């Protein structure tokens, strides 16, 4: 499979970059900003672009058996393509100094020295200003490919110097087709994974390759929908929060960063896990709303159809909309420094069906 083929449902972006690669002219912009929602394929696109520029076969992007250069780029082991991501909440001045130093040296075996920087919105102000200076006067062999989900958080002077590529959220059908082709999973599993992942490619792949995660997700949704008293709500909130805390702790175990950064990163992962659950809850209440109003019979969580229909019969429409609002409020509060356990207890208490 070509690297370009791994970019799902982004025809415009791919065509724009392919055109650049094919023309390969000296007027090519040297700074790029790839934006798009989480899981839309920003990094994959950045690597496909880098591979196509470096490997000498224009739009090659072949896999390992056909092109060692492209494969090394995919694996972040190619000397002229520097891939930068961070486990820390912010890129520091020291991090930026290091890549600026690296950008002083000529490419070894390719036409360009390429830097792919993930989450470029996470530079501290000082780091961003330092980086900006380099961006203003690039050597002609340098290509910057910056990626972010939050372009508004990128320094405006950095943004304005980049050519922009905007990715959209890929469709469930396109993601399912990709999962079937690339991983040979069943049609039903592929479609379920794509739909419940909210069109996030990485998450859909995780679900398709680990169907037990889908089951765990359904189980929690089932538990939430069946909350009928406050002790149930407190008990479930406690279990959910513990699981998210553990996920954070496990994820930072092997990281080689300072312990304060580890703690911050673990908290971030915990919050991401909880946000994922709240998004799942939104799909559940969306389904109850759909079942109640018969707008469409297209349920996202169709394996919970029976519980969803039952809840649709029991919960009045104004209360249903109130519940959806409560989930959105909880999502916003989780992003602050408020205590996550209290937020969950309060939310699950609100979602009590007997209220
Ligand atoms: Zn190649």
64-93 pLDDT tens trace: 557 888 888 988 999 999 999 987 778 999
- CA angle, corner 180, sides to 179 and 186, nearest 5? 115
CA atoms within 13 A on the CB side of 178: 25
pLDDT of residue 164: 97
For 170, list phi and psi in degrees, rounded to 5: -70, 150
Mean pLDDT of the chain: 91
CA of 68 to the centre of ligand 1 (A): 7
Q: What 8-state DSSP symbol labels residue 56?
A: S
User: Is the predicted pLDDT of residue 57 greater than 80, yes or no?
Assistant: no
Q: What is the mean pLDDT of residues 243-262?
A: 88
User: Is the predicted pLDDT of residue 337 greater than 90, yes or no?
Assistant: no
Yes or no: say if 91 and 124 are a contact pair by the CB < 8 Å rule: yes
CA of 89 to the centre of ligand 1 (A): 34
CA of 20 to the centre of ligand 1 (A): 16
CA of 227 to the centre of ligand 1 (A): 54
CA of 114 to the centre of ligand 1 (A): 15
Strand partners of residue 166: 35
CA of 61 to the centre of ligand 1 (A): 5
In sequence order, what are the residues at sequence separation of 6 or more whose Cβ sits closer than 8 angstroms to the Cβ of residue 67? 51, 55, 57, 60, 61
CA of 348 to the centre of ligand 1 (A): 52
CA of 96 to the centre of ligand 1 (A): 29
199: left (phi over 0), alpha (psi -120 to 50) or beta: left
CA of 206 to the centre of ligand 1 (A): 27
User: Which tokens in the block code for residue 79?
Assistant: 């000397």
User: Is the predicted pLDDT of residue 166 greater than 80, yes or no?
Assistant: yes
Q: What 8-state DSSP symbol labels residue 5?
A: G
User: Is the predicted pLDDT of residue 170 greater than 90, yes or no?
Assistant: yes
Tell me which residue of 200, 213, 149 sits closest to 174, measured CA to CA.
Answer: 200
Q: What percent of the chain has pLDDT over 90?
A: 72
Residue 273: alpha-carbon gap to chain centroid? 12
pLDDT of residue 350: 96
CA of 67 to the centre of ligand 1 (A): 5
Confidence grade of residue 2 (pLDDT, cut at 50, 70, 90): confident
Tell me which residue of 209, 169, 217 sits closest to 189, measured CA to CA.
Answer: 209
Terminal alpha carbon distance of the chain: 53
pLDDT digits (tens, 9 = 90+) for 108-131: 989 899 999 999 999 999 999 999
In sequence order, what are the residues at sequence separation of 6 or more whose Cβ sits closer than 8 angstroms to the Cβ of residue 31? 135, 138, 143, 144, 146, 161, 162, 163
Cα(190)–Cα(194) distance, rounded to whole angstroms?
6
User: Which tokens in the block code for residue 165?
Assistant: 């590529």
Q: Is 333 exposed, middle or buried (0-12, 13-18, 19+ CB in 10 A)?
A: middle
Cα(28)–Cα(283) distance, rounded to whole angstroms?
43
pLDDT of residue 22: 81
CA of 51 to the centre of ligand 1 (A): 6
CA of 73 to the centre of ligand 1 (A): 9
pLDDT of residue 15: 92
CA of 80 to the centre of ligand 1 (A): 14
CA of 64 to the centre of ligand 1 (A): 9
CA of 59 to the centre of ligand 1 (A): 8
Cα(41)–Cα(175) distance, rounded to whole angstroms?
11
pLDDT of residue 63: 55
CA of 318 to the centre of ligand 1 (A): 57
CA of 63 to the centre of ligand 1 (A): 8
pLDDT of residue 61: 57
User: Which tokens in the block code for residue 219?
Assistant: 């189980």
Confidence grade of residue 175 (pLDDT, cut at 50, 70, 90): very high
Cα(22)–Cα(1) distance, rounded to whole angstroms?
20
- CATH (one of 1.20.144, 1.10.3470, 2.60.40, 1.20.272) for 211-350: 1.20.272
Q: Where are the alpha helices (DSSP H) in the chain?
A: 11-23, 42-54, 68-74, 93-102, 125-136, 156-159, 172-183, 187-196, 201-209, 211-225, 230-252, 259-293, 305-314, 317-334, 340-350
Tell me which residue of 166, 161, 167 sits closest to 29, measured CA to CA.
Answer: 161
pTM: 0.81
CA of 35 to the centre of ligand 1 (A): 24
Q: Which CATH superfamily is domain 3-166 in?
A: P-loop containing nucleotide triphosphate hydrolases (3.40.50.300)
């Amino acid at each position: 499979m070509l690297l370009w083929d791994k970019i799902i449902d982004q025809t415009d972006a791919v065509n724009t970059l392919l055109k650049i690669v094919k023309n390969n002219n000296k007027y090519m912009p040297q700074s790029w900003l790839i934006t798009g929602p989480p899981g839309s394929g920003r990094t994959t696109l950045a690597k496909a672009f880098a591979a196509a520029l470096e490997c000498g076969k224009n739009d090659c992007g072949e896999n390992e058996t056909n092109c060692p250069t492209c494969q090394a780029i995919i694996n972040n082991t190619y000397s002229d393509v520097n891939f930068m991501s961070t486990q820390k909440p912010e890129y520091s001045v020291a991090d930026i100094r290091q890549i600026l130093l690296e950008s002083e040296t000529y490419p070894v075996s390719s036409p360009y020295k390429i830097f792919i920087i993930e989450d470029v919105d996470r530079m501290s102000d000082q780091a961003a200003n330092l980086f900006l200076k380099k961006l203003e006067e690039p050597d002609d062999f340098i290509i910057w490919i910056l990626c972010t989900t939050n372009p508004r958080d990128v320094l405006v002077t950095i943004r304005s110097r980049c050519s922009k590529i905007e990715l959209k959220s890929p469709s469930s059908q396109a993601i399912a087709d990709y999962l079937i082709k690339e991983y040979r999973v069943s049609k039903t599993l592929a479609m379920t994974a794509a739909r419940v992942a909210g069109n996030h490619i990485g998450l859909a792949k995780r679900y398709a390759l680990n169907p037990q995660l889908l089951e765990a997700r359904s189980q929690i949704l089932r538990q939430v929908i069946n909350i009928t008293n406050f002790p149930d709500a407190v008990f479930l909130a406690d279990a959910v929060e513990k699981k998210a805390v553990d996920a954070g702790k496990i994820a930072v175990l092997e990281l080689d960063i300072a312990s304060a950064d580890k703690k911050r990163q673990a908290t971030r992962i915990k919050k991401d896990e909880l946000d994922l659950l709240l998004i799942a809850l939104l799909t559940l209440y969306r389904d109850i709303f759909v079942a109640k109003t018969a707008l469409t019979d297209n349920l996202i969580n169709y394996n919970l159809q029976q519980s969803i229909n039952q809840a649709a019969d029991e919960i009045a429409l104004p209360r249903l909309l109130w519940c959806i609002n409560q989930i959105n409020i909880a999502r916003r509060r989780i992003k602050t420094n408020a205590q996550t356990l209290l937020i969950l207890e309060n939310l699950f208490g609100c979602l009590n069906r007997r209220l």
